[in-house]
Amino acid sequence: MTSLGLYLTRKSVNRAMVSRRTGISQARLSQLSSNESTKLRADELYLIALAIDIDPGEMFKEIFKDLKLEL
Q: Could you give all domains of the chain from N- to C-terminal order, each with its CATH number?
A: 3-63 (1.10.260.40)
pLDDT-derived band at 71 (thresholds 50, 70, 90) equals confident
Average pLDDT over residues 5-9: 96
Question: Mind listing the pLDDT tens digit for each residue in 12-66?
Answer: 999 999 999 999 999 999 999 999 999 999 999 999 999 999 999 999 999 999 9
The stretches of the chain forming alpha helices (DSSP H) are 3-10, 15-22, 26-34, 42-51, 56-63
pLDDT of 24 reads 98
**39-to-18, 35, 36, 53, 71 alpha-carbon distances in Å:** 18, 9, 8, 22, 24
pTM score, whole prediction: 0.91
Question: Mind listing the pLDDT tens digit for each residue in 21-32?
Answer: 999 999 999 999
